[in-house]
Amino acid sequence: MTPPTLLSIAAQKMKKRSLQNFSQKSPDIVVIGSGIAGLLSALSASEKGSVLLVTKKKLSSGSTPYAQGGIAAVLSGTDHFEKHIEDTMKAGAFHNSREVVKYVVQKGPQAIQKLIEFGVKFDQEKNKNLALGLEGGHSENRIIHAKDATGRIIEKALIAKVRSHKNITIWENTLALDLIIEKKTCKGIKLLRNKKIIKVPTQVVVLCTGGTGQVFAHTTNPTESTGDGIAIALRAGAGVRDMEFIQFHPTAFFKKENNRHFLLSEAIRGEGGILINHEGKRFTKELAARDILSRAIYEEQKHGKVFLTFENTKSTKRKKLLELKKRFPEIFTHLKKNGYILGKNPIPITPVAHYLCGGIEVNLRSETSIKNLFAIGECARTGLHGANRLASNSLLEAAVFASEIGGNLPKIQQTNFKIKEISEKNISNTHQKIIKKIQEIMWQEVGIIRTKNGLQKAFSQLNKFKNHKSREVKNLATVAIAICKQALQRKKSLGCHTMK
């Protein structure tokens, strides 16, 4: 062995000093993710103790800012909890937990009220009542919205609250790596921040890391949706369930940017949008549940392109155009940039991966199978969605469970825990070529229509990536394998899991 040089001793001392310099009191609670679930959880948990809110990119990230349609809740005089419960159960192919469906639906109006108190401004009718839209699978108009930018408007208000909260510290550009587990209890989390691995001992971790759309070659989800929280939970030994139920949204704009497709909200069909095939003929019921519609479009695409359009009645044409522009300003602008006028031109559409109905298994208190580990939002499997989510029930689920998390946490103790840097090792985070490969395998073999052979083939191909040194590859592969495994276990079609 070569003896250490004076220079290398000095370098080691400097490294040690820089690691030791970083030592601050640990937070009581760590929330991972800053979508609707993370932002609301941080606000609610801050009533119990100090909160560190960690997010891998900017505070505004994840699927939340992209949500267009809105939030479902029973608010009109003609609507009733029972109707929303039955619509949710029916969309979920009765694989849902009726207890959870009832719980969430009944808490809906309260959750909406809380968002309004936090400063969210939803669209109103002239009489100041909330404007209620219609989406597929709903038997009543019950979608509360803010034009076609509902998620961004919610997020903007919540970010303002979180930023000004004295009990919440925000760490952006910080990646959650793995949980620290001792005796089946969560004791903290390891993070990657400024190229350093940091150990944060804490009393509670709440995973709010969103969905997994990025495992597919075609998705509405942003680049952040790589299923990290689910991969982290799996590595820690937490229960993960219903991963085979990937919802494909029927009407994404055909043109993709990387693997992401711009969404054409279901609310457009709620306003009279129809679907036609390459011969200009209607071929399905436009407001059927998403699994039914996605399959119908998928079959129709074997013969040619499918389009979203409006029926051309001359007398209403101009009025309708103005109405659509006002109701869907962001969609209208996006399409115009791409050469299409909503309401005038047939717009090519395609079904793409949109939402994960399963995830980390939790109970009504958002507790996972690991003590002091909680999960909320799209990464959690509460039992609300069953085998297929009803439109606009996702923001609702996140809002209900996140705004209650403070009350469900264990008693916070006084501690002297300190945050520590444990290594300066540079983790390679991405590997685009392999990620593309995973996305293609999943799209080809684990997409809208699945076969046993295809699932087995995908499973064996994906296995070689599960210990990859890139974090993103490792997480994507872990989640993709879980989807394949659970899909293989479910031999018959159910909800959005379709076997041929």
Q: Which stretch binds ligand SIN (CB under 6 A): 292-300, 356-364, 368-376, 390-398?
A: 390-398
37 vs 93, beta carbon nearer ligand FAD: 37
- The encoded tokens of residue 312 equal 């051309």
Is 266 a residue that touches ligand SIN (CB under 6 A)?
yes
d(CA 486, CA 491): 10
Nearest approach, Cβ of residue 262 and ligand FAD (Å):
8
Cβ atoms of residues 77 and 129 within 8 Å: no
Which helix or strand (DSSP H or E) is residue 309 part of?
A: strand 306-309
* Closer to ligand FAD by Cβ: residue 176 or 360: 176
Which residue number, 265 or 486, has a Cβ lying nearer to ligand SIN? 265
CA angle, residues 124, 136, 335, in degrees to nearest 5: 70
Q: Between 276 and 380, whose beta carbon lies closer to ligand FAD?
A: 380
How many Cβ atoms from other residues are within 10 Å of residue 411's Cβ?
Answer: 7
Q: Which CB atom, from 330 or from 367, has the smaller least distance to ligand SIN?
A: 330
How is residue 10 written in tokens? 């000095």
Report the residue number, 83 or 344, with the smaller CB distance to ligand FAD. 83
Choice among 142, 152, 260, 290 that is catalytic: 290
- Closest C-alpha among 238, 204, 206 to residue 411: 204
> Can 290 be counted among the known catalytic residues?
yes
Q: Examine residue 267 and tell whether it contacts ligand SIN (CB under 6 A).
A: yes
The site map against ligand SIN for 53-72 (x = CB under 6 A) is: ---------------xx---
212 binds ligand SIN per the rule CB under 6 A: no
**Nearest approach, Cβ of 389 to ligand FAD (angstroms)?**
8
Q: Which of residues 236-265 bind ligand SIN (CB under 6 A)?
A: 265
The DSSP bridge pattern shows strands 274-276 and 246-257 to be: unpaired
Nearest residue to ligand SIN, by Cβ distance, number only: 69
Q: Cβ distance 151 to 68 under 8 Å?
A: yes
- The two tokens of residue 123 are 């669209």
CB 252 within 8 A of CB 264: yes
Cβ-Cβ contacts under 8 Å for 315 (sequence gap 6 or more): none
Q: Which two tokens stand for residue 87?
A: 């619509």
Q: What tokens appear for 88 in the block? A: 């949710």
Give the CB-nearest residue to ligand FAD. Answer: 35
Which one among 391, 448, 455, 481 touches ligand SIN, defined by CB under 6 A? 391
**What residue 150 binds from ligand FAD, ligand SIN, none (CB within 5 to 8 A, per partner kind)?**
ligand FAD
Residue 27 binds: one of ligand FAD, ligand SIN, none (C-beta under 5 to 8 A by kind)? none
In the list ligand SIN, ligand FAD, none, the entry touching 175 (Cβ below 5 to 8 angstroms by class) is: ligand FAD
Looking at the DSSP assignment, which residues form a beta bridge with residue 355?
247
Beta bridge partners of 377: none
Q: Would residue 106 be called left, alpha or beta, if left means φ above 0 and alpha means ψ between -120 and 50 degrees?
A: alpha
Structure tokens at 130: 């909330």
Listing DSSP states for 152-181 in one string gives: HHHHHHHHHHHHT-TTEEEE-SEEEEEEEE
* In the block, residue with structure tokens 């919440």: 168
Whether the Cβ atoms of residue 297 and residue 306 lie closer than 8 Å to each other: yes
Binding site for ligand FAD (CB under 6 A): 32-38, 54-57, 61-64, 66-71, 150-151, 175-176, 208-211, 220-221, 224-225, 228-229, 263, 355, 377-378, 392-395, 398
Q: What is the dihedral of CA 274, 276, 282, 284, to 10 degrees?
A: -70
CB of 11 to ligand SIN, least distance (A): 52
Site track for ligand SIN across 439-478, x = CB under 6 A: ----------------------------------------
Q: How far is the CB of 276 from ligand FAD (least distance, A)?
A: 23
**Residue 222, interface with ligand SIN (CB under 6 A)?**
no
User: Mask 68-107, x = binds ligand SIN (CB under 6 A)?
Assistant: xx--------------------------------------
> Is 35 an interacting residue with respect to ligand SIN (CB under 6 A)?
no
Task: In whole angstroms, give the CA distance from residue 152 to residue 35.
Answer: 10
Burial of 58 per CB tally in 10 Å (0-12, 13-18, 19+):
exposed
Instruction: Between 31 and 252, name the residue whose CB sits nearer to ligand SIN.
Output: 252
Q: Are 201 and 217 in contact (CB under 8 A)?
A: no
Give whichever of 92 and 454 is closer to ligand FAD, judged by the CB atom. Answer: 92
Taking the complex as a whole, the smallest distance from the CB of residue 33 to ligand FAD amounts, in Å, to 3
From candidates 26, 41, 64, 392, binder to ligand SIN by CB under 6 A: 392
Q: How many CB atoms are located within 10 Å of the residue 447 CB? A: 21
Residue 485 interacts, among ligand SIN, ligand FAD, none and using kind-specific CB cut-offs from 5 to 8 Å, with: none
210 binds, among ligand FAD, ligand SIN, none (CB under 5 to 8 A by kind): ligand FAD
By C-beta, is 168 or 276 nearer to ligand FAD? Answer: 168
Antiparallel, parallel or unpaired: β 359-361 and 380-381: parallel
Active site residues: 290
| Residue ranges binding ligand SIN (CB under 6 A) | 68-69, 265-267, 391-392, 394
